[in-house]
Amino acid sequence: MNFLFAWRYFKSKKSTNAINIIAWISVVAITVGTAALIVVLSVFNGFEGLVKGLYADFYADIRVAPAVGKTFHLSTAQYQQIKQIVGVTGMSGVVEEKAVLVNGDCTSIVYIRGVDDQFATVIKIANHIKRGKFELGTAENPSMVVGIGIENAACLDVERPSSPITLYMPNRGAANFKSADALNAFNVQAVGTFMVQQDFDNKYVFSNLAFMRFMLNLQADEYSAIDIKANDNADLVKKKVQEILGNTFLVQTRYEQNQSLFTVMQIEKWVIYAILSLILVVAAFNMIGALTMLVLEKQKDIAVLQAMGANQNRIKGIFLSEGLLLAGLGAVSGMVLAAIICGIQERFQLIKLGGNTFIIDYYPVKMHLADFILVAGTVFVIAVLAAYIPAKKASVQSFSLKS
């Protein structure tokens, strides 16, 4: 009944045309605010999905590392015990160390990861090879796959290699790190270039595990980390791995390995949501004005309803319904508009990113039902708060039928 009155008041002619104009302005403002919120949240979802996809191709689902120190020993029995956990679909041993690449007059400081032959089943870095091939060689004849930033910094050409590159790494057996034998040196060949993300491309180099153990004088059961590929229930796998290894090991999911990044992304999303919600707050002021003027316009109607026995709650409910009607029209229109904009962008990529430094050249979008529900709830709360003041005023005032 309340919405029936509200609908009749909305579409009926008013003695003052400004009431209709202000009402439609509030609807348009809510439409714009709703559409803007959903579009921006969808863009954040798109970037978040893109970043998570890139990190998924570089970071394992679960990583085991020493809680203290740089390396740890993992027996064959422990290795097999982890491998047999339900949900573990792949494992790879890793040895990582900081090194210096010297190619003639070009020098670059890198982080080199030595990985075993199961690495490709755990990390999909091979999918991001841009030049050359993903080949790591052997302990006697090592090859390297380098980030594209390192290829440029070290003056490399993986497709037309010239003389071997000299790789310098710390000599763990050196008695004095100021002496000539403080570093181990070995000639290697760069055969491939990957491009994932700038932070990775300018920092990492991949080679084989046996070569890294040889250079660092490590034992056969010594690792810097164990990368594990898990099914969808990574948290349960993590728990089981931690139970096997104990508290002397640090077991982290992909989210925990990059917790600061993902936390910042979520904070940015909520901050933008809060800022854009101010558009809806501004629209609420228009709604307050429209409803206040409508109350003045319908003084005789209110008096008639009161004479017929309508109580304060009924009067208040009618004007609250009027506010919800205005907000509902704007919210639905905004959601439809946002869905159309996001659908067009997702299909045709019309809006481009500035510059050519990112992995894609357009704004990615990904619509989530939760965002639509969140925005609808936000509009509802703001509409109720905005409509309550004039609705309350209409319900407590007494109007006379005499004019």
The residue type of 218 is: L
Give the integer Cα–Cα distance in Å for 342 and 26. 24
Burial of 186 (0-12, 13-18, 19+ CB in 10 A): middle
185 beta partners:
168
Backbone phi, psi, residue 249, to 5°: -120, 150
Looking at residue 302, what is its pLDDT? 75
The whole-model pTM stands at 0.82
- Could you tell me the sign of the dihedral formed by the alpha carbons of 147, 149, 150, 154, in that order? positive
**Measuring CA to CA, which residue among 336, 286, 322, 308 is closest to residue 394?**
322
The token pair at 223 is 């690792």
CA atoms in the 13 A half-sphere facing the CB of 265: 17
User: Which residues have CB under 8 Å from 202's CB, separation 6+?
Assistant: 147, 149, 150, 153
317-374 tens-digit pLDDT: 888 998 999 999 999 999 999 999 999 999 999 999 876 656 788 999 999 999 999 9
How distant, in Å, are the alpha carbons of 70, 78, 264, 266, 348 from that of 254? 19, 22, 15, 16, 32
Alpha carbon of residue 224 to chain centroid: 28
State which H helix or E strand residue 33 sits in.
helix 17-56
Q: Is 96 within 8 Å of 66 (Cβ atoms)?
A: no
**Measuring CA to CA, which residue among 351, 367, 269 is closest to residue 44?**
269
Backbone phi, psi, residue 63, to 5°: -125, 135
- Relative to beta strand 106-115, strand 249-253 is unpaired
The residue type of 23 is: A
Looking at residue 315, what is its pLDDT? 85
Three-state DSSP class for residue 119: helix
**Measuring CA to CA, which residue among 145, 45, 154, 71 is closest to residue 107?**
154
The residue type of 36 is: A
The DSSP string of 240-284 is HHHHHH-TTEEEEEHHHHTHHHHHHHHHHHHHHHHHHHHHHHHHH
**Measuring CA to CA, which residue among 397, 400, 387 is closest to residue 319?**
387
The token pair at 338 is 């946002």
**Measuring CA to CA, which residue among 202, 128, 137 is closest to residue 164?**
137
What parts of the chain have a pLDDT lower than 50?
Answer: none
Give the integer Cα–Cα distance in Å for 42 and 284. 24
Looking at residue 360, what is its pLDDT? 83
**Measuring CA to CA, which residue among 28, 40, 52, 27 is closest to residue 342?**
40
Q: Is 327 within 8 Å of 388 (Cβ atoms)?
A: no
Q: Is 276 within 8 Å of 30 (Cβ atoms)?
A: no
Give the integer Cα–Cα distance in Å for 90 and 117. 11
Burial of 385 (0-12, 13-18, 19+ CB in 10 A): middle
Q: Is 223 within 8 Å of 63 (Cβ atoms)?
A: no
